[in-house]
A and B are shown apart, each in its own frame.
Chain A
Amino acid sequence: MKKLVIKSKGLSDKAIGWLFIAPTIILLLLINVYPLIYAIRMSFTNFYANKLTQVVKNVGLKNYYKILGKEAIWEKMQITAHFMFWTLSLQIIIGLSLALLLNKKFKGNELLTTTIVLPMMLSPAVVGVFWGYLYNPQVGLFTYIVNFFYDFGSFDMLGSGTLAPWAIVIVDTWMWTPFTMLICLAGLRSIPGYLYEAAEVDRASKWQQFVYITLPSVLPFLLLALLFRGIENFKMFDMVMELTGGGPGSMTELTSMNLKREAFEKWKTGYSSAYAVILFVTIFGFGNVYVKVMNKIKDR
């Protein structure tokens, strides 16, 4: 009886639901989850993708021991940590400051916001290329402008081991500060005006208003921005690859660039799969814990 009714109205909602969702899930399973499982399987072998005739042996956890015991890899982790710490801190501080200023709603506000946002929409690889030109020690505009204010003489942002890690921090900050700015701005605009009015009545100082009203309201938004930027910068590859290629030496070689070298230049497929799994577990673990903490703060 029920079947008849449904039939007269076409497929049942449940059937349509599955019909609509299935293609997406299947595609994600095939191109994202299957490769990941495949990588996990390969991570226990000594497989080389460029030596197809070689017998693949199971080596157990050897790849994992090797990676975690290798000092060079910890160096890359440290480089990535430096990059993440400074880019995230700068982007949060500058982004929040810009948002506070933009929130004063002066004329031309919208236009300026859209203009400021431009860098983050650009292709990171191409951004890396043209910053390479700006940083050029002989003809670069960056070099010129810095020397205009204080004459350092010729200095090589990308060629010096001490400067190069900062060169990539500057470009990433230039590119992504608008991201935190936009999110903070949304946070600021969500604060109801009466809170400040009440505070004014209670004679709270501007500073107190900022600490007790503004900051707590923006905090969830800041944490969200931090999460997105954290994940993205942990995966960072394109911009830095084109800007420094990891150099000088390997002073700016982030983990994902190092992984690319192991996987696509040395073709140590088994070994690099283990490397990939370690990176994936790290980001997934951190991400999950972070989201839990973030939700707790939001609920408070």
Chain B
Amino acid sequence: MDTSRSPMEPSGFSKKIAAFIIIVYTVVTLIPITWIVLTGFKSVDSAVSYPPEVIFEPSLEGYVNLFTARTRQSEEYLDSLPPPETWYEELVRSKDMVITGPSKFFSRYLNSMIIGFGATFLSIFLGTLAAYAFSRFKVPLKDDLMFFILSTRMFPPIAVAVPIFIMYRKLGLGDTHIGMIILYTVVNLSLAVWLLKGFMDEIPKEYEEAAMIDGYTRFQAFFKIVLPQATTGIAATAIFCMIFSWNEYAFAVLLTQFNAQTAPPFIPTIIGEGGIDWPAIAAGTTLFLLPVMIFTVVLRKHLLRGITFGAVRK
């Protein structure tokens, strides 16, 4: 398209300076994340040494501690035990401890998945229907309804948490997966409807109209023409909903404790002997952040749209 270089095209030198500053910023901004990933592979002792160790002997102690519950035992008792069967038992024994069972981390991680997927599925399902209706039909008070849907996002979670807490207690939904799925669905709905409406607006109406002239009903046209066209948009929206549910903390910490507790309120409570077990926390953090980082790379083309509710489309 632009065959002739415009006079505004930045010069090579200014480009180099810009690239340099951006690279420096990128490196600095990545330090905290890198550091936490590295800490996950440190031993407990190495994690609390000062000055911080950049070069260290890698250890899986953090990951073992993350997934197991342990107790300290006397040397005589340890000697009386049969030799350790697995590498992780051996690692724990070398610290004078024995594994007493699995920790809660796995179940909390699983809860995050179940609630995340459940809420994503529901909000996409409801959001797609509503977005289609808003995009195609003359709905009375359309703008007001759309604004109402958006405004639910302004509610500070803590402000509605009190009545929801009481409601859930009455209905028996407190600390249940269903309760959390419903709650996250509601929080995600505003984003789902707004984003999906934008995506649907971009699909030409003529396709469905042609199909309907050929004898398709509105439902058939919706399922066979519009949905396949909107797949990318639906997938991008789904990832945004998933990330939100995955990261949510305020409702989780207030409404769940045992049964349906997700990972974000759990990770900070990981403690070791005589203090915070940083490698275990770092390991849990790494495993928890990993899916989101992958999703971010997958989403990069739709990122802007997602974070602005479709207001900026690029």
Mark A residues whose CB is within 8 Å of B. Answer: 9-11, 13-14, 16-21, 23-25, 27-28, 31-36, 38-39, 42, 49, 98, 101-102, 104-108, 110, 112-126, 128-131, 133-134, 138-141, 144, 174, 179, 182-183, 185-186, 189, 193, 196-197, 200, 221, 224, 228, 231, 234-235, 237-238, 241-242, 256, 259-260, 263-264, 269, 272-273, 276-277, 279-280, 283-284, 287
A144 touches B7 (CB 8 A): no
User: Top 4 nearest A-B pairs by Cβ distance?
Assistant: A276-B159, A35-B163, A125-B249, A17-B137
* B side interface size, CB within 8 A: 102
> Which residue of B is nearest A181, CB measured?
B25
Cβ–Cβ contact B36 & A130, under 8 A = yes
Contact status B285-A130, CB under 8 Å: yes
What separation, in Å, do the CA atoms of A14 and B139 have in the docked complex?
8
Query: Which single residue of chain A is at the shortest CB-CB distance from B183?
Result: A31
A-B contact count (CB 8 A): 289
Chain A residues with Cβ under 8 A from B136's Cβ?
Answer: 13, 17
Q: Are A123 and B154 in contact (CB under 8 A)?
A: no
Among A24, A104, A106, A263, the residue within 8 A (CB) of B161 is: A263
List, in ascending order, chain B residues with CB within 8 A of A238's CB.
249-250, 264
Interface of A is mostly: helix
What chain B residues lie within 8 Å of A11 (beta carbons)? 218-219
Interface secondary structure of B, over-half rule: helix
Q: A104, B10: Cβ atoms under 8 Å?
A: yes
CB-defined contacts of B295 to chain A, threshold 8 Å: 121
Task: State whether A24 touches B149 (Cβ < 8 A).
Answer: yes
Which residues in A have their C-beta under 8 angstroms from that of B164? 31, 35
Chain B residues in the interface with A (C-beta under 8 A): 2, 6-8, 10, 14-16, 18-19, 21-23, 25-26, 29-33, 35-36, 39, 47-52, 126-127, 129-130, 132-134, 136-139, 145, 148-149, 151-167, 182-183, 185-186, 189-190, 193, 212, 217-219, 243, 246-247, 249-250, 253-254, 264-265, 267-268, 276, 278, 281-282, 285, 288-289, 292-293, 295-297, 300, 303-304, 307-308, 311-312, 314
